[in-house]
Structure 1
Amino acid sequence: MSTRTLTSVITATPFRVSFFGGGTDVPGYFNRRGGLVIGSAIRQYSYVALNSLPRLLQKRFRISYSMLEQVDRIEEIRHDIARETLAEYRSLLRDDFVDLHSYADLPAASGIGSSSAFAVGMVNALHALNGLYLPPQELARRAIHIERTRMQEVGGWQDQILSAFGGFNLVRFQENTFEISPLAIGGPLRDAIERSCWLYFTALQRSSAAVQQVSFSTDNIREKERVLDETRELAEEALHVLRGTTSPEGTLRRWGELLHRSWTLKRSLANEVSRPEIDGVYERARAAGAWGGKIIGAGGGGFLLIIAPPERRAAIDAAVGDLHGVPIRLERNGSHVVYVNENG
C-alpha cells in the first residue's frame, strides 16, 4: 500500500446525456446480441469531498448528502453506494475518521446518471486520497462492479463509462466487456448540438433501478429483445447520419426524427417509462416545432431531452409552461480531482 500524503480530496464527475441505444447496454441483452450507445458527458457534475483525519470524534464515519449519517461501522451506513464502496476498499481506510460529503449541480433521480456519477467519483476520490491513479477504463469497471455486482441493481453500464471517460462517445458492448470510441465532432457540429439540444426538468423524480427492473430484468430481458434490437438499429442509423451528413443542421434534424422513433420504442418497454403528464409536455413541444426528444435515463420522470431548431426555443418554452430549461454543454473530461490537501 502506498504511503498516504493527502488528507482531503474533491472529485468532479460529469453527468451524461444518452442520445441513442439506451437499454442495449444491459448485460442480459448485450452478451447475447451486442449493444451500442451514443452519449456524451455534460458540463454539470457530481462532487465528492472525502476527508481522512485522525480519530477525534466518537463516531468513525460521517456521511453527508441529503441526509447526515454518523456511524461507527461501515455496515451501519444507509447510503448504499457509499457503504458498498467503503466496504470494497476497506483496506484503503486504515483506522482514520472518514468524512464524506456529496453534492451536485443537478437533482438526483432525474435521468442524468447521478448515482453512477457518484459511484465513479467516490471510487476516484478514495484512490486519489491514497495516491493511486485509476485510468478511466478501470474506474468505470470498478464503479460498475459496485452498482451491478455488490448492490445487485438492475441496469446498464453506459452511465459509469461516460462519467469516467468524459467526451462525446460511441460505446459498443459485448461478451461482458465494452469498447469506447470518441466521436470526432468539429466546432460547427458541437455548436449546433449545444444550440439545438436542451433539457426540461419535469420535477418528477423516480428510482432508475425500479423502472429498469420492470423494463428489462433478468426475467424478462428476452421478451424485450425485439424492441432492443430496433433500438440498437436506430443507434447504428444515428451513427451513420453523424458520419455521413455534412450539414450540422441536417444532422440534428435527422437525429431529432430518430430520437422520436427511439422514444416511441422505449415507451413500449413498460408503462412506467412514461406518464400522461410527460406525454403531454412532449407532444406540446413537438407541436411547437421540436424535431424529437425523450425522457433521458430509465424513464418515469426527470429530464426531458429536446432536439429542435434553435429559433423555435422561445415557442417551445412557452408550450411546455413553467418547466425549467437546462442547456446542454458537452464536457470533454471525465471524472477528475479538482482539490487536494496535503499532510502537514
Structure 2
Amino acid sequence: MLLIARAPVRISFAGGGTDLPAYFMRYGGQVLSVTLNRYVYTILSPAPRAAHLISANYSLFHQYAPDRDAMWDGNLSLPRAILEAFGSPGGIDLFIAAQVPPGTGLGSSGSLAVSMIAALAAWSGWSLSRAEIAELACQIEIERLGMPVGKQDQYAAAFGGLNRIRFDPHGVTVERVHLAPEIRQALERRLRLFYTGQARPSSRILKAQQQATAEEDPQVLRRLHLLKVLVEDMEECLTMGNLDGFGRLLHEAWTLKRGLASPISNDFIDRCYAASREAGALGGKITGAGGGGFLLLYCPEDAIERVTETMTRMGLKPMDVAFDDEGVQVFRVE
C-alpha cells in the first residue's frame, strides 16, 4: 500500500504576528489568510526494517533510530520530531517534497508538519480531526522544538480555504469567509505572486518580534493591535465585493508590518514594491515573516499585465496560483 498526504501552503493578508503566543495569550489575535493550490507532500510506503526519511527539498536522507536521535537539529529536525511523536513507526519509507522552495514565507514548515502528521496518523490507525492535527503540529513546533512561530500556518494548512482564524488562551477558532463565486474568481485573478529569489529563515525576525511583544514594546504592540483590526476591515471589503478597497487595506497592512522589525524588508524589496505601485498595484506585502520569499500584490484588472511586466523586468518570477478549499487530504493507493 502507498499512502499520500498533502497540505496546502498559505498567504496571509493581515494579522500576522498576533498569532504568536507572546501576543495572543494577553490580547487575543486573529489572522485573515487563504490556502493555495501548492502543496507539501508526504508519501509513505512499507520498508523491510527501519524507518527511512527522505527529503527532496533538502536532498537529505535519514534513518530513524530513537535511541540515537536525542538531538533535534538541522534541516530535518521537524520531521524527525514528528516521527518521535508517533513512537517507533516500524519499517517505512517516508518521502517529503514541497511545490514551493523552503523559507519563502508561504508557511511550508507548518504545511509539512500537518502533512506528515496526517500521513502517520492514517498509517498508524489514529483518528485525528483537522483541529487535532493542527494542534499537534503546533505543539511539536512551538513546545517540543522551541521554534519561534505562531499558530496560523498549521491551522490554515489543516482546514484550507479563506478563513479568519482567531487565537486566544482558550484555543483556536477557524471561521470560513464565504465569497460570491464571481468575487472569488476576480480576487484570484488580481492577487499576483512574484518570487524575489531571496529565501530566508524567518526565525531571526520572529524571535525579535516575539521578544519585543513580550517586553511590551509600545510601538510594536500598537502596530499589532492595528493589524488585528485590519483583519475585520479586510473581511468586510471582501464579502461586500469591494476588492479595490481590500487592495488599499493590504497596502496599509504592509506599512504597519514592515515597521515591526528592521529585517522584514530591504532595499531591493522596497524598490520592487514602489515600482509595482507605480505600475498600478494598489497594495501588497512580502509573504510570511518577511526578509525575502514572495512578493504578493493586488492589481486592478487593467494593471495586471503592466505590473507583471514591471516585476519581470526587475528579475522577479511570477507564480500562477489558485485558492485551495480542501486543506489536508490523505489518499491511499493499493
> TM (normalized to structure 1)?
0.89
Matches of 1:263 and 1:335 in 2, distance apart?
Answer: 29
Q: Identity across aligned pairs (percent)?
A: 35
One-letter code of the match for 1:171?
Answer: I
Aligned pair partner of 1:229 in 222, 225, 231: 225
Cα distance change on mapping 1:128 and 1:227 into 2, 3 Å: same
The match for 2:235 is 239
From 126, 130, 141, the equivalent of 1:147 is 141
CA distance in 1, matches of 2:51, 2:190: 48
- Matched ranges for 1:1-344 at <5 A: 7-55=1-49, 60-65=51-56, 66-74=58-66, 75-76=68-69, 78=74, 79-91=76-88, 93=89, 96-217=90-211, 220=214, 222-223=216-217, 224-243=220-239, 245=240, 248=241, 251-320=242-311, 321=313, 322-341=315-334
The answer (yes or no) to whether the contact 1:35–1:174 under 8 Å persists in 2 is yes
How well do the aligned residues superpose, as a CA RMSD in angstroms? 1.7
> Who is 1:4 aligned against?
none
Greater alpha carbon shift after TM alignment, 27-36 vs 291-300: 27-36
Contact 1:9 1:49 in 2 (8 A): yes
TM-score by length of 2: 0.92
Question: What displacement does 1:210 show?
Answer: 2.1
How far did residue 88 of structure 1 move?
1.2
Structure 2: which amino acid aligns with 1:170? R
> CA contact under 8 A between 2:200 and 2:293: conserved in structure 1?
yes
Structure 1: 5+ residue stretches without partners:
1-6
Q: Which residues of structure 2 form unaligned runs of 5+?
A: none
Compute the displacement of 1:64 (Å): 2.9
Q: Deviation at 1:82?
A: 1.0
Which digits, 9 at most, give the CA deviation of each residue in 1:49-96, with x for residues without a partner? 1223222xxx653433322223351454741111110111115x1xx2
Instruction: State the 1:201 CA deviation.
Output: 0.3
What displacement does 1:99 show? 1.6
In 1, are the aligned partners of 2:47 and 2:92 still within 8 Å (CA)?
Answer: yes
Deviations 1:233-283 (A, max 9, x none): 11122123234x3xx3xx221111111111111111111101110010000
Provide the rounded CA distance (Å) in 1 between the counterparts of 2:215 and 2:123.
40
- TM-aligned CA deviation for residue 221 of structure 1: 5.3
Q: How much has 1:97 moved relative to structure 2?
A: 2.4
> Matches of 2:135 and 2:201 in 1, distance apart?
22
Q: Per the alignment, in what secondary structure is the counterpart of residue 9 of structure 1?
A: strand
Distance 1:204 1:156 in 2: 22
Find the aligned partners of 2:133 and 2:3 in 1 and give their Cα distance: 16
CA distance, structure 2, for counterparts of residue 60 and residue 13 of structure 1:
22
Residue by residue over 1:27-49, the C-alpha shift from the partner in whole angstroms, topping out at 9 and shown as x without a partner, is 11111111111111111101111
Aligned residue identity for 2:171:
T
**CA distance 1:324–1:188, change in 2 (3 Å):** same
SS at match of 1:225: helix
- The Cα of 1:110 is off from its aligned counterpart by 0.4
Q: How far apart, in 1, do the equivalents of 2:42 and 2:212 lie?
A: 32
The whole-number CA distance in structure 1 between the counterparts of 2:254 and 2:81 is 33
